[in-house]
């Protein structure tokens, strides 16, 4: 499964692993930190929504631009933003500068080690070094290791607590990731260009149609994610009166399971097909999502969240491979941007809605609405993309 992966890919995966440590810690502690300094759930939801909006605008631009001018500079820009955001949060807790830092740094977003709005360039950079037939397995390995790093970061969050010391992590990991990226060549070795299609316009139109369908399905998925995941630490704290020392290990367990499932999905996709692997795994995640808000104890709720995260997020690499397989290789940046932004826009709006629900003590409703959206996504996904499985059409 990992034979023949070029050395530059290992460096890119290493950078993701470094980033994931800080991101995992911030998923646990940032919401708790803001609650401690007096932010409401509604304010936090609004800031997360603005962060998603910022992320979405950049994501829309980065992928297509990286197809033209290269990947490396864009991904390095993410590390620069992380350094700036971490530095601001380290020196002040005033609302406006901290909100600004959260928006540009993606605090609490939990990107599983990905490079935020520059992730389309990162994905295209990785796939430029490998063949189409290996995209599903390698991207699954990449995301799996990111989840394991998130788990380690979540444990660190429990040790550090919701204090300003937390913001040393994005600074330190950005320096490590930046060093790895600098040592990585910008482009894969040039390959012979395929012959031009008989009708380039028709080919592009077909690709654009597939990307529009991808965007439509991802809107459903993004709402389902955004209603639950960004405010889960807040929900645990309010529902079960738990702090970072309990929530950190609980989220760490969910990241460990997601990492294991993601690594397992690399082999399962090669054996059974990417689409089938995604559908079966996410059915398990959907069942856990519906059960989660009705669990009578923190331990059971944390277990349900871990199962839900494992089967949902553990298929992220496989779904990235399906998205990139919808277009030709020189348009992977565009496909990655469409795939990311169509999740980010609804995911950015949804936390503001769930924050209002939580402030009004409607603690179960966001989970049920999220389950309805994700159920619709799961029903349509194999119908729309069954013919575009990268492990069946390589």
> Is 210 in contact with 338 (CB distance < 8 Å)?
no
Sequence-ordered list of residues with C-beta below 8 angstroms from that of 35, at least 6 positions apart, any chain: 41, 44, 162, 234, 237
Task: State the pLDDT confidence band at 370, using cuts at 50, 70 and 90.
Answer: very high
Task: State the pLDDT confidence band at 198, using cuts at 50, 70 and 90.
Answer: low
Task: State the pLDDT confidence band at 98, using cuts at 50, 70 and 90.
Answer: very high
> Is 169 in contact with 86 (CB distance < 8 Å)?
yes
> pTM for the whole thing?
0.76
pLDDT computed for residue 392 by the predictor: 66
DSSP state of 128: T
Q: What is the pLDDT of residues 114-133, one digit of tens each?
A: 888 898 889 889 888 877 76
Q: What is the pLDDT of residues 221-239, one digit of tens each?
A: 999 988 988 788 889 989 9
What value does the mean pLDDT of the chain take?
Answer: 87
Structure token digits, residue 138: 């390698």
- Measured N-to-C along each axis, helices 244-272 and 316-324 cross at an angle, to the nearest 10 degrees, of 50
d(CA 75, CA 345): 21
Is the per-residue pLDDT at 4 higher than 70? no
- Measured N-to-C along each axis, helices 274-291 and 244-272 cross at an angle, to the nearest 10 degrees, of 150
pLDDT computed for residue 194 by the predictor: 52
Is the per-residue pLDDT at 23 higher than 70? yes
Q: What is the pLDDT of residues 273-299, one digit of tens each?
A: 889 999 999 999 999 999 999 999 999
């Amino acid at each position: 499964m990992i034979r023949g992966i070029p050395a530059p890919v290992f460096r890119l995966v290493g950078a993701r692993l470094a980033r994931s440590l800080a991101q995992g810690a911030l998923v646990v502690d940032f919401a708790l930190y803001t609650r401690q300094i007096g932010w409401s759930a509604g304010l936090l939801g609004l800031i997360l929504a603005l962060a998603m909006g910022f992320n979405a605008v950049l994501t829309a631009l980065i992928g297509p631009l990286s197809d033209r001018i290269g990947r490396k500079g864009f991904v390095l820009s993410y590390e620069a933003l992380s350094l700036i955001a971490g530095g601001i949060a380290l020196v002040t807790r005033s609302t406006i500068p901290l909100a600004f830092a959260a928006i540009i740094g993606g605090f609490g977003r939990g990107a599983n080690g990905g490079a935020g709005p520059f992730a389309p360039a990162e994905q295209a950079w990785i796939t430029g070094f490998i063949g189409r037939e290996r995209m599903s397995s390698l991207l699954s390995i990449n995301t799996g290791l990111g989840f394991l790093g998130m788990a380690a970061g979540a444990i660190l969050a429990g040790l550090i607590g919701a204090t300003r010391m937390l913001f040393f992590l994005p600074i330190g990991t950005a320096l490590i990731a930046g060093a790895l990226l600098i040592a990585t060549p910008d482009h894969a070795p040039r390959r012979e260009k395929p012959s031009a299609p008989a009708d380039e316009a028709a080919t592009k139109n077909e690709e654009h149609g597939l990307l529009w369908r991808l965007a439509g399905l991802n809107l459903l998925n993004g709402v389902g994610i955004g209603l639950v995941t960004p405010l889960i630490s807040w929900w645990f704290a309010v529902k079960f009166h738990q702090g970072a020392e309990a929530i950190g290990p609980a989220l760490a367990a969910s990241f460990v399971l997601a990492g294991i499932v993601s690594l397992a999905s690399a082999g399962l996709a090669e054996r059974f097909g990417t689409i089938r692997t995604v559908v079966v795994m996410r059915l398990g995640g959907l069942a856990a999502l519906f059960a989660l808000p009705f669990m009578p104890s923190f331990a059971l709720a944390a277990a349900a969240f871990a199962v839900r995260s494992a089967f949902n997020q553990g298929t992220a690499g496989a779904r990235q491979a399906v998205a990139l397989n919808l277009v030709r290789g020189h348009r992977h940046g565009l496909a990655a941007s469409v795939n990311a932004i169509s999740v980010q826009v609804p995911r950015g709006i949804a936390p503001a809605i769930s924050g209002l629900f939580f402030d009004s003590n409607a603690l179960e409703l966001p989970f049920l609405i999220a389950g309805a959206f994700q159920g619709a996504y799961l029903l349509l996904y194999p119908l729309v993309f069954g013919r575009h499985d990268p492990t069946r059409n390589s």
